[in-house]
């Protein structure tokens, strides 16, 4: 371990929410902490706020009163930047403006010792660019904490182009010594979490713009059908629509306006209207007192079919549906439809019920097709989305609805579009992750750790691709690409290579 010892002084520049949180983490870990801000009075206010949070930790039994008092004694204001001269680590948490960060670090380089580690908490700027004006950029590293820093365990440790390996290792080990879960990351736009999380928001917004369903339904399908803790609309309302859109726009620009990262016009209009989410009292949803929260689109109860036919094996995690259907007391027979390779369920009225494959149900010629959405765990899911083709009758649809209701699922009937809701979202996240791993952005293990801890996903995308199969993901995205011009859904070559390797192993 090359972590900084507790005898080392840590300085935090910037006393906003993140600066206060990082200072608290370092204090509780046993360091002396210097707190600096250029705005008059801010340091004193921040110290009081940190003290109040330490009091709450005592009330909750997480630290003792003696530990609180010792931590308070280790916190010192620094009215001038020169007072940080003795720090072994300086972490900046100022405004997300590159010139301001560059100016700060250039000034610090003339103050601190040669072996002092300089760290930026930037969430979207290039660490390489932040260190660009330093005489010795090797000492500069990214330490991206997540808000609230005292509670969330993840820290992304970002190596800029010129960052010394020793500096990155010290930063990593120090974060671990502070009780955090660090992950290593190369200096690319969005790092790990903000890069790979873009499709979770983007595909929901795209589905809304395509009139697939309204926000409450899209949220419910991703939350109850796929296991995400929050839906993208309620989550962006919590984050702040202005904040979320700014990160999306920053990543899009940093990737030279790659269509995979294209921002949403619908979100832009929301931001322009001042509807920034919870903090504004309204975003996608109304948070004023007594406001009615819209309910997701949910089908009325329908009778379950007595029996269904099963043609071939359902793909991926959908294979468990046979067990669930039989456990519900519905007879499963073998469907002998000739000339079909795709696994599907034949309903009593003749309609085919199949997992979405990236093509809309209506493109299947001469068949009454109903697509059902992906779930990462059909046994645990409590909601399933269905998309009927234009030729499906109300009776056919009722049979499909009744079947899933008999399995204990609520059903949301949505518009017939490629990839539906969950499948397109999960497939895009997986493709981004596989591509990032192939490009050396981070290891597969660190990618999964970052997405589980940083945004509370119900699993890691590298784990998902193992379960779904790279070929299935590639086929779905390739199908969507042929339905949507512009390059947004072109699957990466890294995903293609992974699919080919899977085939060789099999």
> What is each CA distance from 398 to 53, 302, 353, 361, 503, in whole angstroms?
54, 6, 12, 16, 39
**Dist CA 368 CA 124 (whole Å):** 47
**Dist CA 119 CA 140 (whole Å):** 6
Task: Determine whether 159 is an active site residue.
Answer: no
Among residues 142, 168, 167, 170, which one has the least CA distance to residue 156? Answer: 142
Q: Is 61 exposed, middle or buried (0-12, 13-18, 19+ CB in 10 A)?
A: exposed
Q: Which of 92, 109, 156, 224 is catalytic?
A: 156
**Dist CA 128 CA 140 (whole Å):** 8
- As beta bridge partners, residue 412 has 385
**Dist CA 375 CA 221 (whole Å):** 9
Task: Determine whether 96 is an active site residue.
Answer: no
Retrieve residue 358's tokens. 């990236």
Q: Which of 123, 375, 484, 492 is catalytic?
A: 123
**Dist CA 167 CA 181 (whole Å):** 17
Task: Determine whether 156 is an active site residue.
Answer: yes
β-sheet with 9-13: strand ranges across? 75-77, 32-36, 9-13, 89-92, 117-120, 140-145, 154-159, 181-186
Residue 155 host element (H or E): strand 154-159
Task: Determine whether 123 is an active site residue.
Answer: yes
Q: Which of 194, 368, 479, 484 is catalytic?
A: 194
Residue position matching structure tokens 């904040």: 243
* Strand pairing class (9-13; 75-77): unpaired
**Dist CA 491 CA 170 (whole Å):** 37
**Dist CA 232 CA 291 (whole Å):** 20
Which residues 6+ apart lie within 8 Å of 70 measured at CB? Answer: none
**Dist CA 123 CA 132 (whole Å):** 17
Q: Which of 31, 144, 276, 369 is catalytic?
A: 144
* Active site amino acids: 123, 144, 156, 194
């Amino acid at each position: 371990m090359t972590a900084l010892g507790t005898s080392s002084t840590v300085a935090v520049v910037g006393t906003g929410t993140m600066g206060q949180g990082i200072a608290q983490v370092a204090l509780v870990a046993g360091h002396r902490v210097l707190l600096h801000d250029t705005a008059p009075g801010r340091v004193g206010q921040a110290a009081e706020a940190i003290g109040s949070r330490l009091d709450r930790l005592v009330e909750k039994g997480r630290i003792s009163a003696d530990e609180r008092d010792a931590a308070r004694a280790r916190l010192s204001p620094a009215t001038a930047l020169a007072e940080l001269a003795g720090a072994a680590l300086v972490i900046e948490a100022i405004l997300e403006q590159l010139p301001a960060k560059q100016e700060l670090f250039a000034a610090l380089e003339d103050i601190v010792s040669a072996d002092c580690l300089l760290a930026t908490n930037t969430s979207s700027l290039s660490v390489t660019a932040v260190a660009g004006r330093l005489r010795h950029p090797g000492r500069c590293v990214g330490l991206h904490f997540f808000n609230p820093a005292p509670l969330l365990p993840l820290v992304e440790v970002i190596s800029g182009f010129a960052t010394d390996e020793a500096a990155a290792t010290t930063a990593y080990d120090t974060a671990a010594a502070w009780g955090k879960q660090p992950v290593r990351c190369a200096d690319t736009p969005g790092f790990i979490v903000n890069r790979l999380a873009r499709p979770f928001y983007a595909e929901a917004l795209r589905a809304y713009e395509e009139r697939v369903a309204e926000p409450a339904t899209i949220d419910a399908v991703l939350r109850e059908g796929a296991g995400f803790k929050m839906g993208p609309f309620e989550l962006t309302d919590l984050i702040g629509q202005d904040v979320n859109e700014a990160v999306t726009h920053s990543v899009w620009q940093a990737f030279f306006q790659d269509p995979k990262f294209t921002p949403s016009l619908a979100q832009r209009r929301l931001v322009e209207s001042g509807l920034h989410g919870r903090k504004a009292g309204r975003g996608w949803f109304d948070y004023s007192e007594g406001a009615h929260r819209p309910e997701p689109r949910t089908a009325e109860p329908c009778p379950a079919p007595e029996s269904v036919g099963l043609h071939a094996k359902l793909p991926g995690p959908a294979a468990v549906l046979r067990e669930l259907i039989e456990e519900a007391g519905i007879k499963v027979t073998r469907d002998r439809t000739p000339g079909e390779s795709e696994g599907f369920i034949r309903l009593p009225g003749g309609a085919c019920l199949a997992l979405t494959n990236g093509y809309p149900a209506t493109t299947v010629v001469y068949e009454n097709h109903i697509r059902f959405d992906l779930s990462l765990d059909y046994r645990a899911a409590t909601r399933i989305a269905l998309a009927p083709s234009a030729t499906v009758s109300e009776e056919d649809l009722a049979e499909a609805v009744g079947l899933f209701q008999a399995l204990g699922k609520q059903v949301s009937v949505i518009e017939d579009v490629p990839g539906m809701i969950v499948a397109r979202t999960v497939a895009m996240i997986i493709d981004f992750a596989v591509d990032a791993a192939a490009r050396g952005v981070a290891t597969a293990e660190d990618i999964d750790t970052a997405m589980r801890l940083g945004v509370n996903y119900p699993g890691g995308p590298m784990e998902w691709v193992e379960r779904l199969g790279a070929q299935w993901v590639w086929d779905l995205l390739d199908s969507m690409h042929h339905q949507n011009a512009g390059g947004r859904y072109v699957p990466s070559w890294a995903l293609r290579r992974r699919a080919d390797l899977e085939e060789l192993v099999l």
